[in-house]
Amino acid sequence: MNCLALRYGDNIIVIDAGMMFPDAELLGVDIVVPDFSYLVENREHVRALILTHGHEDHIGGVPFLLSLMNLPVYGTALTLALVERRLEEHDLEEEAEFHEVNPGDRLEIGPFGIELIHVTHSIVSSVALAITTPLGVVIHTGDFKVDPTPTDNEPFDLHTLAEYGKRGVLMLLSDSTNVDRSGYTESERAVRPRLEECFHRAEGRLVVSCFASSVHRLQQILEVAAESGRKAAFLGRSMLAVTEIAHNLDLLDIPDSILLRPQDIMQTPADKVAVIVSGTQGEPMSALSRVAVDNHKHLSVRPGDMVVLSARIIPGNEKSIYRMINHVARRGAEVVYGPMNPPVHVSGHASIEELKLMLGLVRPKYFMPIHGEYRQLAKHVSLARHVAGPALDDAFVLETGETLEIDAQGARRGPTVNVGRVCIDSGSVDEVVEDIIIRDRRHLSEDGFVLPIIAINKNTGKNEALPEIVTRGFVSLEDGSQLLQDARQVVARTLENSTAEERTDWGVMQEKIRADLRRFISKQTSRRPLIMPVILEV
Amino acid sequence: MNCLALRYGDNIIVIDAGMMFPDAELLGVDIVVPDFSYLVENREHVRALILTHGHEDHIGGVPFLLSLMNLPVYGTALTLALVERRLEEHDLEEEAEFHEVNPGDRLEIGPFGIELIHVTHSIVSSVALAITTPLGVVIHTGDFKVDPTPTDNEPFDLHTLAEYGKRGVLMLLSDSTNVDRSGYTESERAVRPRLEECFHRAEGRLVVSCFASSVHRLQQILEVAAESGRKAAFLGRSMLAVTEIAHNLDLLDIPDSILLRPQDIMQTPADKVAVIVSGTQGEPMSALSRVAVDNHKHLSVRPGDMVVLSARIIPGNEKSIYRMINHVARRGAEVVYGPMNPPVHVSGHASIEELKLMLGLVRPKYFMPIHGEYRQLAKHVSLARHVAGPALDDAFVLETGETLEIDAQGARRGPTVNVGRVCIDSGSVDEVVEDIIIRDRRHLSEDGFVLPIIAINKNTGKNEALPEIVTRGFVSLEDGSQLLQDARQVVARTLENSTAEERTDWGVMQEKIRADLRRFISKQTSRRPLIMPVILEV
């Protein structure tokens, strides 16, 4: 969930505001966005939000940031259109102040002069930023690869970068995603031969899944479909929305009369159909997941059909993706996925040789790797030291919330600021899930709960009946009935053995009951359910 | 969790009884083993359990099977020693009837003549089985690769397989794990150059992690350590146990005076130490995970040290492994992991060309792929048809519980039998977790619980005070206090609006309260906590 603040005196610009999907242990959390406390505390100094490109991990947090403060937002047409779609979901689109910019544009925002530099990436209309400050130039690469043959013939603007490098750059912040990969990332064009082979070989329907935002990939699929005489249908909410956006912006060229309505897919001869669906990551409600279990109203996959996954597996999604592929295989279709030569997918991020090129072109005084886990950032720093040698003054791996301060004397780590993550349940802006709630859910998920209920007579101060015990997720009623009977006795004994004084303090009683019951349950079952004694005055 | 029953008339032999680690959605489950109901129902016909090798996914279910029935167990010395270790954990080792066998041995069990054939795999002492039945020979490969240069110079016994193939084989069951990989799996010896490079390059301590059962790998690490003048220490419970077992069986040769006690690691010069630790999969309590967060009493990793992960990433473990690597990187150590050339890890399973060799040597009449997900089994069938052409009569992908029947007329799918999975919480044989419990835990993990408690006066049949509501994992007390106050009113209204007759039926009242409260909460928060009304008679 990329988000970086650049501050000079009383002026702050924010670069990107992404989201991420939660780890499995964030139970019941739908998405995670940055904690924007630092920006809120400095609200009067924040001048603008600048977006490098339209991927969710760079724009998904925008609705949450804009709900906290009004802010001018700068981005290319596609980036802003994708943000607008998200804002509409939150009814925030009216208030947003959008500024459409193009590669080559220069912005003046407070003390910052910002030039947008065209880069190649897996989504079109991506830019790097060259930010001129009174202390020198800061280059932020955004996400990039150096594609020598992009499908839209819009090459990476190496010349402008070289120009900055020649004049001298204070600091480079560079994408670290693929620092583990040797060599060069293949060009987007490299998938074309594999797509052609699939279209040629499929006897029945050809189903291709890729990220909806991969406009270049979609363009190639449509072109190959046209050449092979197949009509094309789009399936999936995001696929329909994004292709419409890209088409309206003249970024996606849809060949004449190639489009097939989803409802006509099954009425068209199978070998004349290509279906382009969203859901490469096995998301449970996605079009492809529904197709896989034969539960989509417009498409049923059969023996002879071919399903092509033209996307990478995002770490953490392996199991759901393989489960989906297994279901498709059960339908008798061939599934094309994973590494192969020629590739069915290429990465949008620079491999080691491209990262070296970036370091060599920009020749920064300071280096800070961005966009990667710690292991990747650390490796990128080693690479930078190796490439630049003594020309590199210093390099810094910063973790979330850490700051770097630069002045005339040089660069050094600054104080840590208060940032972190905000967990969102079910997509609405308000529904923040606090850490304590997630901790409780995790505890509940492991061994369930045991809730002893003690009714105390408010006149006598005594419990008149045996305590009740309510439980779920712990033991089955069958296995557990004796255990629960015994547990009631344990609670009753704790009550009996307490002094009159203890009994008047419910907090003390709850703690004593919890401790005794925990010991009993742990001894009997070696489990640790959440135990929460309830005392009712009746 | 591999487990296969082969039945002829009233005689059943069982091949392997594995376990698996649960998917993330099996909340609070520690391990999963097969449901052995079919074997229990046919207990009087089950003659023997035959184990192909000592990996957990082939032997981890043995304690659970043996706790259900006494059964002679056949396996090589290492396999049985590893099973014994598991049985000791369950206090079952006294009762087990072990028969140590060697590659080349032939067993007669009822109508089955079983020859054990030496295969190469990532654990030593692995065998395939050639099972002669009255209907013909069934070959079960177990797990294998065809390593032309195994480190112990014990080659795959291709000759015996070829002999069976020449005489005619009824059916082949073959390992499908790597059917997605083209070419040949590299020899175990291929990791040696990389290990040498790491030992040569590390300035400080060298920490190597691999599976404890990879005896060949451990042998190579020890040899390289000896050559480079480093002492070696083992860390981790399974590493210590398995190396001791392998050493006692003369399968692991520990060079003279190379061993260092764990407590001496930090007192020895850093460049004279190699530490061999378990925990390649980022298991939270493993030695390597504790080292990563600098919480191991015998080893602290520092800048200049190198940590080598000589193992594959098991799908599903990516996040915890990368988290562990990030922690090691934060300690300033270099981490060597992932694909590279020469490799730091090689697979133990056959790639496509080896699978073709197996099919070509055995030339079975029928083929059934084993050991893989559906997508891999389906691909293996395509491969078999491609290799064998019309010589292959038929091929079958069977899922868990499905059966295949063969008689003089041929092979066909039989009825499905009652099998599945058994979820175990915390390792003891008894602690089976039922599906309903896991369903409750999943529900609790998503939105927590809301528990309205109504105290009804047993004399008047009325609730005297406002109902209480107890909740965890749902809303924070701060945000939720108004919501919970309103919810109490909702419950009170439901009570008021009920007829006297309804009030006498607690089941009805609980259902009404649950329905009204669910509607109220869903409208206010769009969440769906587990709602469980409790009615107390006081």
**Which ipTM value was assigned to this complex?**
0.82
Q: Which class would CATH give A108-185+347-416?
A: alpha beta
SS3 content of chain B, % helix, strand, coil (to 5): 35, 25, 40
When pLDDT is averaged across residues B72-99 and rounded to a whole number, the result is 91
Q: What is the DSSP string of A185-201?
A: PPPGGGGHHHHHHHHHH
Q: Does B30 touch chain A (CB under 8 A)?
A: no
Distance CA A32, CA A55 (A): 15
Closest chain A residue by Cα to residue B28: A446
Cβ atoms B400, A438 nearer than 8 A: no
Residue-wise pLDDT tens digits, B431-470 = 677 777 888 888 888 888 898 988 887 777 777 778 888 8
> Does A315 sit within 8 Å of B316, measured CB to CB?
no
Distance CA A124, CA A220 (A): 13
Which chain B residues are Cβ-neighbours of A177 within 8 angstroms?
none
Is residue B84 over pLDDT 60? Answer: yes
Strand ranges inside B142-181, DSSP E: 169-175
Is residue B150 over pLDDT 80? Answer: yes
Cβ atoms B24, A24 nearer than 8 A: yes
Q: Does A342 touch chain B (CB under 8 A)?
A: no
Is the pLDDT higher at B464 or at B266?
B266
Residue B404's pLDDT band (cuts 50, 70, 90): very high
When pLDDT is averaged across residues B217-246 and rounded to a whole number, the result is 96
Q: Does A50 touch chain B (CB under 8 A)?
A: no
**Nearest CA distance, B33 vs chain A (angstrom):** 19
Q: What is the DSSP string of A422-475?
A: EEESTT-TT-EEPHHHHHHHHHHHHH-EEEEEEEE-TTT-SB-SPPEEEEESSS
Provide the H-helix boundaries in B24-61.
37-41, 56-59
Mean pLDDT of chain B: 92
Which segments of chain B belong to CATH 3.60.15.10?
Answer: 1-101, 108-185+347-416
Q: Does B538 touch chain A (CB under 8 A)?
A: yes
- Substitution target in A325, A441, A459, A528 with the highest count of B β-carbons within 10 Å is A441
- In this structure, the strands spanning A169-175 and A136-140 are parallel
Q: Does B426 touch chain A (CB under 8 A)?
A: yes
Tokens of B436: 């309903």
Cβ atoms A230, A206 nearer than 8 A: yes
Which chain A residues are Cβ-neighbours of B455 within 8 angstroms?
455, 536, 538
Residue B167's pLDDT band (cuts 50, 70, 90): very high
Is residue A496 over pLDDT 90? Answer: no
Which segments of chain B belong to CATH 3.10.20.580?
Answer: 448-537
- Substitution target in B472, B475, B476, B491 with the highest count of A β-carbons within 10 Å is B472
Q: Does A431 touch chain B (CB under 8 A)?
A: yes
When pLDDT is averaged across residues A172-189 and rounded to a whole number, the result is 96
**Catalytic amino acids of B?**
175, 349
Q: Which residue has the tokens 């990996």?
A: B55
Nearest to A179 by CA among A383, A389, A398: A383
The shortest CB-CB distance from B473 to any of A373, A440, A475 is to A440
Half-sphere exposure in the Cβ direction for A242 (13 Å, CA): 28
Which chain B residues are Cβ-neighbours of A338 within 8 angstroms?
180
Nearest to A446 by CA among B229, B498, B28: B28
Nearest to A480 by CA among A440, A529, A443: A529
Distance CA A503, CA A495 (A): 8
- In degrees and rounded to multiples of 5, residue A119 shows phi and psi of -125, 160
Question: In the prediction, which pLDDT does B31 show?
Answer: 83
- β-bridge mates for residue B470, sequence order: B451
**Nearest CA distance, B350 vs chain A (angstrom):** 17
Which chain A residues are Cβ-neighbours of B537 within 8 angstroms?
465
Closest chain A residue by Cα to residue B335: A375
- Which of B:485-504 have CB within 8 Å of A? none
- Which of A:312-331 have CB within 8 Å of B? 315-316, 318-319, 322, 325-330
Distance CA B140, CA B117 (A): 10
Distance CA B286, CA B237 (A): 8
Nearest to A299 by CA among A266, A260, A274: A266
Residue B429's pLDDT band (cuts 50, 70, 90): low
Residue-wise pLDDT tens digits, A419-429 = 888 888 765 55
Q: Does B89 touch chain A (CB under 8 A)?
A: no
Q: Which residue has the tokens 């544009």?
A: A105
Which chain A residues are Cβ-neighbours of B335 within 8 angstroms?
375
> Does B470 sit within 8 Å of A526, measured CB to CB?
no
Cα torsion through B502, B508, B511, B517, rounded to 10: 10
- The single-letter DSSP state of residue A281 is T
Mean pLDDT of chain A: 92
Residue-wise pLDDT tens digits, B173-211 = 999 999 999 999 999 999 999 999 999 999 999 999 999
> Does A446 sit within 8 Å of B28, measured CB to CB?
yes
Tokens of A61: 């947090």
**Nearest CA distance, B435 vs chain A (angstrom):** 10
Annotated catalytic residue, options A16, A35, A175, A516: A175
Annotated catalytic residue, options A349, A380, A447, A516: A349
Nearest to B318 by CA among A231, A313, A410, A166: A313
Largest CA distance in chain B: 88
Question: In the prediction, which pLDDT does A167 show?
Answer: 97
Of the listed ranges A226-240, A486-500, B43-57, the one predicted with least confidence:
A486-500
Which chain B residues are Cβ-neighbours of A334 within 8 angstroms?
382
The shortest CB-CB distance from A451 to any of B428, B470, B526 is to B470
- Which of B:157-176 have CB within 8 Å of A? none
Nearest to B62 by CA among B51, B52, B46: B51
Q: Does B444 touch chain A (CB under 8 A)?
A: yes
> Does A326 sit within 8 Å of B374, measured CB to CB?
yes
> Does B442 sit within 8 Å of A444, measured CB to CB?
no
The shortest CB-CB distance from B375 to any of A326, A373, A445 is to A326
Question: In the prediction, which pLDDT does A276 show?
Answer: 98
> Does A538 sit within 8 Å of B465, measured CB to CB?
yes
The shortest CB-CB distance from A329 to any of B340, B375, B447 is to B375
How big is the A-B interface in CB pairs under 8 Å? 168
Is residue A20 over pLDDT 80? Answer: yes
Which chain B residues are Cβ-neighbours of A538 within 8 angstroms?
455, 457, 464-465, 536, 538
Distance CA A312, CA A346 (A): 8
SS (H, E, C) B376-402: HHHHHHHHHHHHHHHHCCEECCCCCCC
Q: Which class would CATH give A1-101?
A: alpha beta
Distance CA B178, CA B495 (A): 62
Chain centre to alpha carbon of residue A414:
28
Q: How far apart are the first and last CA of chain A?
A: 51
Cβ atoms A258, A268 nearer than 8 A: no
When pLDDT is averaged across residues A446-458 and rounded to a whole number, the result is 85
CATH, domain B448-537, list 3.10.20.580, 1.10.10.10, 3.40.50.300, 1.10.486.10: 3.10.20.580
> Does B468 sit within 8 Å of A326, measured CB to CB?
no
Q: Does B391 touch chain A (CB under 8 A)?
A: no
Which segments of chain A belong to CATH 3.40.50.10710?
Answer: 188-336
Residue A202's pLDDT band (cuts 50, 70, 90): very high
Is the pLDDT higher at A506 or at B324?
B324
Of the listed ranges A237-241, A394-398, A434-438, B329-333, the one predicted with least confidence:
A434-438
Distance CA B87, CA B28 (A): 23
> Does B453 sit within 8 Å of A453, measured CB to CB?
yes
φ/ψ region of B294 (left if φ > 0, alpha if ψ in -120 to 50, else beta) reads left
Q: How far is CA A2 from CA A20, A129, A376, in A?
A: 9, 15, 15
Q: Does B437 touch chain A (CB under 8 A)?
A: yes
Q: What is the DSSP string of B286-345?
A: SHHHHHHTT--SS----TT-EEEE-S---TT-HHHHHHHHHHHHHTT-EEE-SS-SS-S-
Closest chain A residue by Cα to residue B437: A473
Residue B477's pLDDT band (cuts 50, 70, 90): low
> Does B525 sit within 8 Å of A374, measured CB to CB?
no
CATH, domain A188-336, list 3.40.50.10070, 1.10.357.20, 3.40.640.10, 3.40.50.10710: 3.40.50.10710
Question: In the prediction, which pLDDT does B428 show?
Answer: 53
Count other C-beta atoms under 10 Å from residue B446's C-beta. 19
Cβ atoms B330, B323 nearer than 8 A: no
Count other C-beta atoms under 10 Å from residue A43's C-beta. 13
- Substitution target in B314, B318, B344, B441 with the highest count of A β-carbons within 10 Å is B441
> Does B448 sit within 8 Å of A441, measured CB to CB?
yes
Query: What percent of chain A lies above the pLDDT cut of 90?
Result: 72
Whether residue A105 lies in the annotated active site: no
Distance CA B46, CA B7 (A): 9
Q: Does A201 touch chain B (CB under 8 A)?
A: no
Count other C-beta atoms under 10 Å from residue B515's C-beta. 12
Is residue A414 over pLDDT 90? Answer: yes
When pLDDT is averaged across residues B364-385 and rounded to a whole number, the result is 97
Q: What is the DSSP string of A232-259?
A: EEEESHHHHHHHHHHHHTT-S---TT-B
Nearest to A345 by CA among A480, A220, A180, A446: A220
Mutual orientation of helices B215-227 and B237-248 as an angle, nearest 10°? 90
Q: Does B475 touch chain A (CB under 8 A)?
A: yes
What SS3 state is found at A522?
Answer: helix
When pLDDT is averaged across residues B90-111 and rounded to a whole number, the result is 91
Nearest to B206 by CA among B273, B260, B266: B273
Is the pLDDT higher at A134 or at A284?
A134
Which chain A residues are Cβ-neighbours of B457 within 8 angstroms?
538
Of the listed ranges A47-61, A505-519, B136-150, B245-259, the one predicted with least confidence:
A505-519
> Does A434 sit within 8 Å of B476, measured CB to CB?
yes
Which chain A residues are Cβ-neighbours of B431 within 8 angstroms?
525-526
Q: Which residue has the tokens 């940032």?
A: A419
Q: How far is CA B189 from CA A176, B195, B498, in A?
A: 33, 10, 78
